[in-house]
Amino acid sequence: MEIISKTDGTKTTMEIVGWLDTQTAPQLEEELSKLTDEITSLVFDFAKLEYISSAGLRQVIAAYKKMQNKDGFKIINVSDEVFDVFSLTGFDQKIDIEK
């Protein structure tokens, strides 16, 4: 998995490439821990995310909770397969997800 992180002012966009699973979730956790309090908006770009497991989902939810009292959290460019995971877990009702 590769994470391409771009920060513009108070907004950070993380493009996740490959698989977000048990092996790679700690990498995302580490990247999220680097976010400072100045970051008030977080966007995950899943255009190149091929697969997400429950471990990956846990990190996405952790990021969502971290940004909950700030300006926003959004996931964009979600494939049908990855969206199905969010839909099955009900998180599509809580998180702003754009296909």
| Domains of the chain, each with CATH number or no CATH | 2-97 (3.30.750.24)
For the chain, the C-alpha Rg in angstroms (whole number) is: 12
Mean pLDDT of 17-30: 97
Report residue 91's pLDDT band, with 50, 70 and 90 as the boundaries: very high
CA 70 to CA 53: how far, in whole Å?
26
Q: What is the mean pLDDT of residues 34-63?
A: 96
**Average of per-residue pLDDT across 51-56:** 96
**pLDDT confidence of residue 85:** 94
What is d(CA 63, CA 73) in angstroms, rounded to the nearest whole number? Answer: 8
Q: Which band of pLDDT confidence, cut at 50, 70 and 90, is reported for residue 12?
A: very high
Residue 61 is predicted with a pLDDT of 95
| Band of pLDDT at residue 98, cut at 50, 70 and 90 | very high
